[in-house]
Amino acid sequence: MLEILANRDFARLFAAQVVALLGTGLLTVGLGLLAYDLAGAAAGLVLGVAYTVKMVAYVGLSPVAQAIVQRLPRKAVLIGADMIRAGVALCLPFVTELWQVYALIFVLQAASATFTPAFQAVIPDILTEERAYTRALSLSRLAYDLENLLSPALAGALLLVLSYHWLFLGTVLGFLASTWLVWRTAVPPLPGAAARPFRERLVRGARIYLATPRLRGLLALNLSAAAVGAFVLVNTVVLVRVDHGGGESALAVAMAAFGAGSMAAALMLPRVLERLGDRRVMLAGAATLVALALGLGAALAAGQAPAWGPFLLLWALIGLAYAAILTPSGRLLRRSAHAGDRPALFAAQFALSHACWLVTYPMAGVAGRVLGMGPALLLAGLVAALGLLLARNLWPAGQVEAPPHDHPDLPPDHPHLRTHGHGPHAHTYVIDDLHRRWP
C-alpha cells in the first residue's frame, strides 16, 4: 500500500491531509474546553449547536462553493481555503461571546466544505490507475482513524504544560503546514471544464449523482453507515458509563476498538475489492451493520448488555463494516464522471452524505434519551436496513459499464456518432451533456 507514496505529488497531498487532520483534532478538544469556559454546564448544548452549524455548512455550502470556484485554479482554491481555516483558528482564543464561536465555526466549516471535495477530486487526477487510487482511499481511511486516536493523546500531552488556548495554535500550524505542502504539489488543471452558467454549475454534481444508479445506491448506503455510525459517536459514552461503569479511559478504549476495526478494513480492502468488486463488499458491510445493530439493540432492550470484552469486539466489527461502506465510495465517484465533472460530483457526495448525518445525529441523541439505548440502536438498525434495501434496488447487480444506447436526437455528422457509430453502440457510460439519463 505504501508504494503509492513514491508519487511525490500524492505523498505531499497525503501529508497535507494528515497534518490538517491533526490540527482539526486539536481544535475539537480546544473547542470543548472553550465552550465550558463560556457556558459552564451548558457546554454540551453549545457544542451541539456548533456541530449542527458544521453540518448545515457542509450540506448547504459545498455545492455552492464548488460552483463559485470552478473557474479558479485548483491549487489557489485549496491554498485559499486552508488560509481561511488557519485564520479562523487564530481568532478562536480571543472570543468572549457564544455568537462569536458560532460565527467562526460557520466560516471555518464553509472553508472545509470548499477544501475537502476539491482535494478529493484532485487525487484521481494524480493517481490515474484504479489500483493505486484504491490504495490511496485506504490510506486516507487510515489517516482519519489514526487522527481519532492520536489527536486526543497529543492534546492531552500539550495540556500538561500549556493552557488549552495553545491548542488552537497547533490547529493554525496544521493548516499552515497543509498550505505549504499543497503549494509544493503539482496540482493538475481541471480537464474539460466548460464555462457553464452558475445555476448549471450549482446543480450539475447532484444531477449526475442522482442519475447514476450506482451513486443512488451509494447514497442509500451512506444512510446505513450514518444511522449506525451516529449511534456509536453519540451514545458510546452512555453505554460505557452506564452499562459498564467505565470512566474516560474506558471510553477512549471503546472508541479505539471502533477505530481499530475501521483500520483493519482499510488494510484489507484493496485486495478484497479486486476480488469481489465494490457492490458486493459495500452491501456486505451494510448487511453486517444491520445485523450487529439489530442484534445488540435487542439484547440491550432485553436488559442483557454484553460483557466488556464482547462489547469491544462488537464495536470493532461495527467499525470494520462502517469502513467497508465508506472507503470504496471514491472508486464509484471516480468512474461515474469525466474528470472535468469530478469536483462537482465529489461536492454532491460531500453534501448528500452529510445530509444523512444531519438526520441521524439528532435521531441517535433524541432516541437514546427518550427511548433508551436498546430501542435507539434498534431504530438505527432499522434505518440502516432501509438503506440496504434501497441500495440493492437502486444499484442493480451486474450493471454493465458500457450499456448499449443510441442518440436519435443528434445530427448524423455529430463527432460522437462519427467516433462510436450510428445507431445503437456501447462505450464506458457516464452522465454528461450527451448522456443525460441512464439507458
| pLDDT, tens digit (0-9, with 9 covering 90-100), for 190-226 | 765 556 777 788 888 999 999 999 999 999 999 999 9
* Last residue in a domain, options 190, 216, 245: 190
Q: Which pLDDT belongs to residue 417?
A: 74
Instruction: Compute CA 194 distance to the chain's CA centroid, rounded to the nearest angstrom.
Output: 27
Domain that holds residue 316: 207-394
The answer to whether the pTM exceeds 0.85 is yes
Q: How far is 86 from 175, CA to CA, in rounded Å?
A: 5
* 211 and 186 share one domain: no
User: To which residue does cell 446543480 refer?
Assistant: 203
Asked if residue 377 is part of any domain, the answer here is: yes
Mean pLDDT for the chain? Answer: 88
Asked if residue 422 is part of any domain, the answer here is: no
Give burial (CB, 10 Å; 0-12/13-18/19+) of 433.
exposed
Asked if residue 402 is part of any domain, the answer here is: no
Q: What is the mean pLDDT of residues 269-286?
A: 94
Q: Which pLDDT belongs to residue 408?
A: 78
Q: What is the mean pLDDT of residues 75-98?
A: 93
* 162 and 215 share one domain: no
Asked if residue 415 is part of any domain, the answer here is: no
| pLDDT, tens digit (0-9, with 9 covering 90-100), for 144-174 | 887 777 777 787 788 888 888 898 999 999 9
* 168 and 64 share one domain: yes
Q: For the chain, give the percent of residues with pLDDT over 70.
A: 96
* CATH code for the domain in which residue 107 is found: 1.20.1250.20
* 303 and 165 share one domain: no
* 42 and 165 share one domain: yes
Q: How far is 62 from 346, CA to CA, in rounded Å?
A: 9
| DSSP assigned state of 303 | T
Asked if residue 286 is part of any domain, the answer here is: yes
* 134 and 68 share one domain: yes
* 5 and 142 share one domain: yes
The three cell numbers of residue 433 are 451533456
How many residues belong to the chain? 439
In this predicted structure, the answer to whether residue 74 has a pLDDT above a threshold of 80 is yes
Q: How far is 366 from 230, CA to CA, in rounded Å?
A: 12
**Least confident stretch, 56-65, 167-176, 217-226, 376-385:** 56-65
User: To which residue does cell 445503437 refer?
Assistant: 424
Asked if residue 199 is part of any domain, the answer here is: no
Q: How far is 269 from 59, CA to CA, in rounded Å?
A: 28
User: To which residue does cell 470548499 refer?
Assistant: 114
Q: Which pLDDT belongs to residue 184?
A: 94
* 86 and 160 share one domain: yes
* 223 and 276 share one domain: yes
Q: Which pLDDT belongs to residue 8?
A: 93
In this predicted structure, the answer to whether residue 390 has a pLDDT above a threshold of 90 is yes
* 305 and 168 share one domain: no
Q: How far is 87 from 26, CA to CA, in rounded Å?
A: 15
Q: Work out how many domains the chain is built from and give that number.
A: 2
What is the Rg, in whole angstroms, of the alpha carbon atoms belonging to the chain? Answer: 22
The three cell numbers of residue 136 are 490511496
The three cell numbers of residue 3 are 508504494
User: To which residue does cell 456518432 refer?
Assistant: 417
| β-bridge mates for residue 424, sequence order | none
Q: Which pLDDT belongs to residue 37?
A: 81
Q: Which pLDDT belongs to residue 91?
A: 94
| β-bridge mates for residue 425, sequence order | 405
Q: Which pLDDT belongs to residue 1?
A: 59
Q: Which pLDDT belongs to residue 411?
A: 82
In this predicted structure, the answer to whether residue 138 has a pLDDT above a threshold of 60 is yes
Q: Which pLDDT belongs to residue 43?
A: 67
Strand, helix or coil at 421? coil
Give burial (CB, 10 Å; 0-12/13-18/19+) of 5.
middle
* 140 and 263 share one domain: no
Own/partner pairs, 32-37, CB within 8 angstroms, 24+ separation: 33/164, 33/167, 34/92, 34/95, 34/101, 34/164, 35/101
**Least confident stretch, 294-303, 310-319, 339-348, 404-413:** 404-413
| pLDDT, tens digit (0-9, with 9 covering 90-100), for 401-436 | 778 888 777 787 788 777 777 778 777 778 887 778
Asked if residue 421 is part of any domain, the answer here is: no
Is there a contact between 136 and 5 (Cβ–Cβ < 8 Å)? no
| pLDDT, tens digit (0-9, with 9 covering 90-100), for 341-365 | 889 999 999 999 999 999 998 888 8
Which residue intervals of 70-97 are DSSP H helices? 74-91
Q: Which pLDDT belongs to residue 324?
A: 96
* 175 and 41 share one domain: yes
Asked if residue 400 is part of any domain, the answer here is: no
CA 327 to each of CA 218, 292, 408: distance values in angstroms, whole numbers, following the listed order: 11, 19, 39
Give, rounded to a whole angstrom, the gap between the first and last alpha carbons of the chain: 37
